[in-house]
Structure 1
């Protein structure tokens, strides 16, 4: 009797029909299934930044201890190659951490690391379930321990990225607070200057204080130089006032 078709399991795999019945068209959550001495691991490839769809990886262990699909390296279960992919993904994020210098970089790392950390935790949980179902297979024990190490490395990297993001946010808030304080001090100084000169300007505007100062005659004989001199004095005074208003307050 031919096994019922299952799009996820190759027809050549001689697995219990129970496995095919429990699998749908998509892998679903990561889990371990055991029946009649057979072990089927439903795992996910490391999530990437360009898509949210999880790529399923299925691994079957026969009662004789043979794994399918076969591994590229002799003597190692194929699950080890999946853990290699997780290891490379974590190493890539660790390299990104060394060059991260602002909050956006830390946020991007956390955005990529969060699903990766969740996935490797589930891989470790599945391998622990497989270890309990088949307690005498040392390869499964080694795979479980390696998955735990990767999950721990991902957690430590997440903590480092979170602390880096918190530090950058605190530094940015401190800079904004210092800038706001300087603006408040500058506004206060401007208000003091306005209050000081406002009565004089008001009286001059009301009384029309057009005093004879002699520059009218000098302007006729010397051309624009008196006007330019007054303009230069005004600009110099304005620059000095600007330095006074914008200087940093004493701590």
Structure 2
């Protein structure tokens, strides 16, 4: 069974024995001055359940090497952690621009897996720091990982608050609209009740009675009566309750995660 540890690395054999054919979770192995750090890449938005691993080996002389290549030294480890800082800044920008429930939900889906990865990375770097107490570069990497974890926590919490706020606001608007329709329907029912008797009698009897308007000049009488009916209908429409204008939505406040390196 092949090991994911690069074959050219002169690591203790115990590392390869403890490693399966997959890198597994983020963790640290230490033995005889050697430190093997197993970290995960940023989760892929399309397949967040998959975790691509990257390994960092520190030999007893204090030299770091990365399984992805690159120059020897801790710079590759620092670049790996800084990728999470940049991802947090991008998600924070999305959070500043989010307004709809779909946008908040997409932000939660993006921040959740990255938060878990950043949290486990921070924990693994802390273990590596304890295994290599003389490596000052690990302190910086660990602190950056802690900042990334905190940033993703703030973004995830802010997105959840935004989604709850948007859902509550939409429910409030729907309740307000339902109340408006209820009031309008009640007024229309009252008007229908007032005119129901005369409408029923006119329908049954025809109401072909002399009312004095037969001698009025035509067609002026017809148009005047029609205009008065329209005016009365517009007055009824104006008396109906109007829905309240919805205010511009204001997203909930949040603690800023900050930009750039932490």
Aligned to 1:102: 100
2:8 to 7, 12, 16: 12
Contact 1:71 1:77 in 2 (8 A): no
Contact 1:77 1:139 in 2 (8 A): no
Contact 1:38 1:60 in 2 (8 A): yes
Contact 2:125 2:138 in 1 (8 A): yes
Q: 1:73–1:184: structure 2 CA closer, same or farther, 3 Å change rule?
A: farther
Aligned equivalents of 2:151, 2:177: Cα separation in 1? 39
Aligned equivalents of 1:26, 1:227: Cα separation in 2? 90
Structure 1 unmatched runs, 5+: none
Aligned to 1:132: 130
Structure 2 unmatched runs, 5+: 245-262
1:1-251 aligned at under 5 Å gives the runs 5-6=2-3, 8-52=4-48, 53-69=50-66, 76-213=74-211, 222=219, 227-247=222-242
Larger proportion of helix: 1
Q: CA deviation at 1:99?
A: 1.6
Larger RCO: 1 or 2 (CA < 8 Å, sep 6+): 2
- The TM-score normalised by the length of structure 1 is 0.84
Aligned equivalents of 1:175, 1:192: Cα separation in 2? 26
Contact 2:63 2:72 in 1 (8 A): no
Q: CA deviation at 1:199?
A: 1.8
Aligned length, in residue pairs: 242
